[in-house]
Amino acid sequence: MKKLINKVEDVVNDSLAGMGAAHANLLRVDLESQIVVRKNAPVQSKVGILSGGGSGHEPMHGGYVGIGMLDAACPGAIFTSPVPDQMLAATRAVNGQAGVLHIIKNYTGDVLNFEMAAELAELDGIKIESVVTNDDVAVQDSLYTAGRRGVGVTVLLEKIVGGLAETGAPLEQVAALARKVNSHGRSMGMALTACTVPAAGEPTFDLSEDEMEIGIGIHGEPGRRRLKLASAAQITEMLATPIIEDLELKAGEQVLAFVNGMGGTPLIELYIIYDSLNRILTGKNIRIVRNLIGNYITSLEMAGCSITLLRLDDEITRYWDAPVYTPALRWGM
């Protein structure tokens, strides 16, 4: 295992310490509670926007704390949902008397821990709404299973909902927009290599020189299918087609196209994927009117990418465009 780390058990803490030192103008890191909180939190009368999940997906979520996006993030151990104590501490820290929105990616661990945290917060008299993202079309959805994973849409949702919350909108409206964004977005990912959880010390799976995994999540896990390596154009087709079909995107519609790197894939390759995606969508007369390309929701140093498409309407576009100032996303200010 080759990583720029000190002790395996200090990875998350050391990284959070660096983050806190680097972005003291935007946020503070509370190492004891293991939370990242917007500097001036709680913002009175503003809905607090809180997310969290395992670490290893950087910049998600800590990198999205700041103005116009998250008010707090709870980072768990690598690939492990944080615990209710963190979520409760963060909820209290961002409660500006307008309630708190919990943004949860659909994984059993995240859902269960946030569930317990919400129960505890409500005992405190804090109004909580929870939204679970589940945009991964690689996974079959069913009432009888754990359901689809929450992946790329989470990043977009956090930005958009954060934009609305900044206007002082009430909790119900913020939660409704969050649910709409989730229902408007779908994602699918693939891996060229596995990644290594520091505490495990070895790659989560073996993949030979000419193979890839299609339909992966963001936890270094294998995907739905192992296939022979294909060209960027073919891979883009494999990822985009199920998304377009599942979203039932029609000619004339407008989307935000998000090409995300899994952590170890350089930008030069992500632009190649974007080029293919643009050709596919243009061919169907679906218009990309906003885009995001880079490493935004990652799986440690895994090589690979995911594609997310988000159907845009005026409201979603407006809050996507709204100013944001966080370590990882910044515009308009």
Partner 1 sequence: MTNQDIIRWLDRIADELRANTHYLTQLDSPIGDADHGTNMNRGFSAVHAKFPTMTAMDIATQLKTVGTTLVSTVGGASGPLYGTAFLRAGGAVASKQELTASDIVAMLEAFLGGIIARGKAQVGEKTMVDALTPALHAAKQELDQGASIADITAKAAAAAEEGMKATIPMLATKGRASYLAERSIGHQDPGATSSWIMLRCLAEVCSDR
Ligand X SMILES: Nc1ncnc2c1ncn2[C@@H]1O[C@H](COP(=O)(O)OP(=O)(O)O)[C@@H](O)[C@H]1O
Comparing CB distances to a copy of itself, the nearer of 129 and 166 is 166
Alpha-carbon gap, residue 137 to 71, rounded angstroms: 29
Comparing CB distances to ligand X, the nearer of 133 and 265 is 133
Instruction: Report the nearest approach of a copy of itself to the CB of residue 295 (Å).
Output: 7
Query: Helix (H, G, I), strand (E, B), or coil: what is residue 14?
Result: helix
Among 20, 96, 109, 264, the residue binding ligand X under the rule CB under 6 A is 109
Instruction: Mark residues 12-51: x for contact with a copy of itself by CB under 8 A, - for none.
Output: x-xxxxxx-xx-----------------------------
Annotated catalytic residue 102: no
Comparing CB distances to a copy of itself, the nearer of 14 and 221 is 14
Cα 11 to the chain's mean position, in Å?
20
Among 146, 229, 267, 333, the residue binding partner 1 under the rule CB under 8 A is 146
Comparing CB distances to partner 1, the nearer of 134 and 326 is 134
Contacts of partner 1 in 157-196 (CB under 8 A):
none
Catalytic residue among 57, 61, 102, 184: 57
The answer to whether 107 contacts Mg ion (rule: CB under 5 A) is: no
Alpha-carbon gap, residue 197 to 232, rounded angstroms: 27
Alpha-carbon gap, residue 220 to 222, rounded angstroms: 7
- Largest CA-CA distance found in the chain, in angstroms, rounded: 55
Alpha-carbon gap, residue 76 to 322, rounded angstroms: 29
- The number of CA neighbours under 13 Å toward the Cβ of 41 is 32
108 Cβ neighbours under 8 A, 6+ residues apart: 146
Alpha-carbon gap, residue 229 to 198, rounded angstroms: 27
* DSSP labels, 108-144: HHHHHHHHHHHHHHHHTT--EEEEEE--BTTS---TT
Annotated catalytic residue 23: no
Query: Helix (H, G, I), strand (E, B), or coil: what is residue 102?
Result: strand
Count of Cβ atoms closer than 10 Å to residue 129 Cβ? 18
Instruction: Report the nearest approach of partner 1 to the CB of residue 121 (Å).
Output: 15
Among 9, 31, 250, 331, the residue binding a copy of itself under the rule CB under 8 A is 331
Alpha-carbon gap, residue 23 to 38, rounded angstroms: 10
Instruction: Report the nearest approach of ligand X to the CB of residue 200 (Å).
Output: 11
DSSP strand pairing (35-38 vs 27-30) = antiparallel
Among 91, 265, 306, 326, the residue binding a copy of itself under the rule CB under 8 A is 265
Stretch that binds a copy of itself, among 56-64, 93-101, 143-151, 174-182 (CB under 8 A): 56-64
Instruction: Report the nearest approach of a copy of itself to the CB of residue 14 (Å).
Output: 5
Beta strands per DSSP E along the chain: 27-30, 35-38, 48-55, 72-78, 100-105, 128-133, 185-191, 211-216, 225-228, 254-261, 287-294, 304-311, 324-325, 330-331
Catalytic residue among 23, 61, 184, 219: 219
The option from Mg ion, partner 1, a copy of itself, none interacting with 251 (CB < 5 to 8 A, set by class) reads none
Instruction: Mark residues 61-90: x for contact with ligand X by CB under 6 A, - for none.
Output: -------------------xx---------
Comparing CB distances to ligand X, the nearer of 218 and 259 is 218
**Residues annotated catalytic, as ranges:** 57, 219
Residues binding a copy of itself (CB under 8 A): 1-7, 11-12, 14-19, 21-22, 55-56, 58-59, 63, 192-193, 209, 212, 229, 231-233, 235, 263-276, 278, 288, 291, 293, 295, 298, 300-301, 303-305, 327, 330-333
